[in-house]
Chains A and B, each alone.
Chain A
């Protein structure tokens, strides 16, 4: 299985402020009654984007000037809560290619990486700079450079970081581990043979 080498992501950004944005907020559970991930994009952040009566709340991603944004900016502990891959799937299917936040919840981070959607961290003040730039001019192109570990936008450059195992997997095109895991199957069998509970 050949995967793209994701060395950088460029696009317009949109800032969704807040800390501890949990997976229920990213994709409410009622939209998980599905047997494929297709169609989840339209339900991303649904309950924050709509009033209880179903009217739009003017959420940043619905603002006309941010339509088509592919880089999501947010706060600390993004993606906390459940292990539902529906959360990064919904973000990805809504058109996003990468997320910049102060930090990420563990399972969400791994799920996103496996989809080839880089999650990178940056200092709060640097995220604020990017947010200010995309607010001032929504057409601003933001580039996340996974090789140089920097984000470039509107003539500015800030440092970003990413766990090395994820960065390595993205830039070398092995972010979905399935191929490698299958290659290891003979060794898997040897390891399993040493564990009595694995016997049939």
Chain B
């Protein structure tokens, strides 16, 4: 019977059925970072357990590290304590740690692919909900809690119920000035923030076929924002070309065998799905959020919703709560809304292609007066490549602060935070209340090029107009 990639990978990694009906699933690759792992190591010690497969866990630091401070001890003693803790744990349990001194440190979801650790047909888990990013390679990648981090450390498995699979097909060519970020914001707008609960998403169609790996990662990254724990794209030649010659990719004869095996995991023609959703790429516009969850999005030329046009009582209450928090007038254009901060970076949009695209447009332009703009490469390797290409200089000359690698203002567990009710044009993934570090801080999610347009104009703007992108 034809099977989807999800079913094949699930079957290949199923160890056994547990008493409650869940599956004991082998997690081939485990990624850890400083925030959700220390308690797990503590639990291991309390239970007197060892790490079962230390060579299959990889660590880095991203959430708490300051991106404007390289010298330790860090000004924040709690950040330093977490740094010390992960170093100690990795050394004690024999885990590879991409520390800052390695030159390979970065946001965990950027480091895994960059190193070739993320591979097709594998299962991956990490104590971070954006682990779905790795699905771009045709892996089944789960965000997990700390007790499950413990489970994976101790047994290289976790207990899990099977997911349903929804195929989301996007077909056609994106219009100029429309990016992968817009695709996922558009999808979440359609499904709502819980429409994906219980599903793994298989992203497919000619739009995804044409996407680079970095574009696929951007979409898979935000699957959880629509409620789906897992999102993936079937592996193809684009996937294999990206992985060739990466540090952890198979080499020589092993490479050829691996590619054959990887191909075999792709969904079979005729595979059945629990649900199918079809989207025409031409219907997707540059999309921005106006509210307090990633499903509250509109195209740049639409008006902010009004409670009067709500489709239900729930919708109405949601609009009222969001507009009150965001301090946005109902029924008015979002375009022209003044911003205070522009943030480029995160596991969603902190990759080389993101900075290349932004540099192309901001070259020779200036960040608007009064706007604080920061550009945070997702990894040290991304940072280095940006330097080689002069991207860091272009951004710095335009008025962006060029930082070291980390999560930075995506979640503000580090010195980068909004102040008061500042409004941030952000290439990150969440616009929850208080997400960027101030309890009244406001976030508008958008693509990196839209962030650049907001940075140079000082307001939410249509990047196609600001940068004269031909709309044909």
Q: Which residues of A contact B (CB under 8 A)?
A: 1, 18-20, 22, 24-25, 28-30, 32-37, 47, 50, 52, 76-77, 80-86, 88-89, 103, 105-107, 110-111, 114-115, 163-166, 168-169, 172, 174, 176-178, 180-182, 184-185, 187-188, 191-192, 194-198, 200
Q: Do A25 and B433 touch across chains, with their CB atoms under 8 A apart?
A: yes
Q: Do B194 and A33 touch across chains, with their CB atoms under 8 A apart?
A: no
A77-B193 contact given A25-B433, A165-B161, CB 8 Å threshold: yes
Q: Do B197 and A188 touch across chains, with their CB atoms under 8 A apart?
A: no
Q: Which residues of B contact A (CB under 8 A)?
A: 12-16, 18-22, 24, 26, 28-29, 35-36, 38-39, 42, 47, 49, 52-53, 55-56, 63-64, 76, 78-79, 81-82, 85, 119, 122, 127-129, 131, 143-148, 150-151, 154-161, 193-194, 197-198, 224, 227, 229, 254, 257-258, 261, 293, 314, 317-318, 321, 411-413, 420, 430, 432-435, 437-440
11 contacts between A and B (CB under 8 A): A24-B432, A34-B78, A52-B440, A84-B36, A106-B229, A107-B229, A110-B145, A177-B24, A187-B24, A188-B15, A192-B156
Q: Do A20 and B28 touch across chains, with their CB atoms under 8 A apart?
A: no
Complex CA–CA separation, A28 to B434 (angstroms): 8
Q: Do B15 and A191 touch across chains, with their CB atoms under 8 A apart?
A: yes
Q: Do A32 and B413 touch across chains, with their CB atoms under 8 A apart?
A: yes
Residues of A close to B81: CB separation below 8 A: 35
Q: Which among A37, A80, A172, A191 is the interface contact of B13 at CB below 8 angstroms?
A: A191
Q: Do B144 and A185 touch across chains, with their CB atoms under 8 A apart?
A: no
Residues of A close to B413: CB separation below 8 A: 29-30, 32-33
Q: Do A181 and B158 touch across chains, with their CB atoms under 8 A apart?
A: yes
Q: Do B147 and A106 touch across chains, with their CB atoms under 8 A apart?
A: no
Complex CA–CA separation, A85 to B144 (angstroms): 8
Q: Which among B39, B143, B314, B438 is the interface contact of A35 at CB below 8 angstroms?
A: B39
Residues of A close to B24: CB separation below 8 A: 177, 180-181, 184, 187-188
Q: Do B145 and A107 touch across chains, with their CB atoms under 8 A apart?
A: yes
- Name the residue of chain A whose CB is nearest to the CB of B407: A29
Q: Do A105 and B194 touch across chains, with their CB atoms under 8 A apart?
A: yes
Residues of A close to B52: CB separation below 8 A: 185, 188
- Name the residue of chain A whose CB is nearest to the CB of B420: A52
Q: Do A200 and B13 touch across chains, with their CB atoms under 8 A apart?
A: no
Q: Which among A25, A76, A115 is the interface contact of B147 at CB below 8 angstroms?
A: A115
Residues of B close to A28: CB separation below 8 A: 434, 439
Q: Which among A25, A30, A85, A172 is the interface contact of B36 at CB below 8 angstroms?
A: A85
Q: Do B82 and A188 touch across chains, with their CB atoms under 8 A apart?
A: no
Q: Do B55 and A200 touch across chains, with their CB atoms under 8 A apart?
A: yes
Q: Do B430 and A107 touch across chains, with their CB atoms under 8 A apart?
A: no
Complex CA–CA separation, A192 to B38 (angstroms): 26
Q: Which among B18, B261, B420, B430 is the interface contact of A81 at CB below 8 angstroms?
A: B430
Q: Do B151 and A165 touch across chains, with their CB atoms under 8 A apart?
A: no
Q: Do A178 and B151 touch across chains, with their CB atoms under 8 A apart?
A: yes
Q: Do B145 and A76 touch across chains, with their CB atoms under 8 A apart?
A: no
Q: Do A181 and B157 touch across chains, with their CB atoms under 8 A apart?
A: yes
Residues of B close to A178: CB separation below 8 A: 47, 147, 150-151, 154-155
- Name the residue of chain B whose CB is nearest to the CB of A178: B151
Residues of B close to A19: CB separation below 8 A: 314, 317-318
Q: Do A83 and B129 touch across chains, with their CB atoms under 8 A apart?
A: yes
Residues of B close to A36: CB separation below 8 A: 38-39, 42
Q: Do B53 and A192 touch across chains, with their CB atoms under 8 A apart?
A: yes
Q: Do A168 and B156 touch across chains, with their CB atoms under 8 A apart?
A: no
Complex CA–CA separation, A86 to B39 (angstroms): 10
- Name the residue of chain B whose CB is nearest to the CB of A198: B28
Q: Do B56 and A198 touch across chains, with their CB atoms under 8 A apart?
A: yes
Residues of A close to B13: CB separation below 8 A: 191, 195
Q: Do A198 and B53 touch across chains, with their CB atoms under 8 A apart?
A: yes
Q: Report the 6 A-B pairs with minimum CB-CB distance, sorted nearest first.
A: A85-B145, A111-B145, A177-B159, A83-B143, A35-B38, A33-B78
Complex CA–CA separation, A35 to B192 (angstroms): 34
Q: Do A81 and B432 touch across chains, with their CB atoms under 8 A apart?
A: yes
Q: Do B194 and A80 touch across chains, with their CB atoms under 8 A apart?
A: yes
Distance of A4 from chain B, by nearest CB (Å): 15
Complex CA–CA separation, A174 to B78 (angstroms): 35
Residues of A close to B36: CB separation below 8 A: 83-85
Q: Do B157 and A33 touch across chains, with their CB atoms under 8 A apart?
A: no
Distance of A131 from chain B, by nearest CB (Å): 15
Residues of A close to B293: CB separation below 8 A: 20, 22, 80
Residues of B close to A103: CB separation below 8 A: 194, 197
Q: Do A107 and B42 touch across chains, with their CB atoms under 8 A apart?
A: no
Residues of B close to A192: CB separation below 8 A: 26, 28, 53, 156
Complex CA–CA separation, A196 to B317 (angstroms): 52
Residues of A close to B411: CB separation below 8 A: 24, 29
Distance of A35 from chain B, by nearest CB (Å): 4
Q: Do B412 and A188 touch across chains, with their CB atoms under 8 A apart?
A: no
A180-B42 contact given A19-B318, A77-B193, A103-B194, CB 8 Å threshold: no
Residues of A close to B42: CB separation below 8 A: 35-36
Distance of B159 from chain A, by nearest CB (Å): 4
Q: Which among A18, A22, A182, A185 is the interface contact of B432 at CB below 8 angstroms?
A: A22
Residues of B close to A32: CB separation below 8 A: 35, 63, 413
Residues of A close to B314: CB separation below 8 A: 19, 76
Q: Do B15 and A33 touch across chains, with their CB atoms under 8 A apart?
A: no
Q: Do B197 and A106 touch across chains, with their CB atoms under 8 A apart?
A: yes
Distance of A134 from chain B, by nearest CB (Å): 21
Complex CA–CA separation, A47 to B258 (angstroms): 49
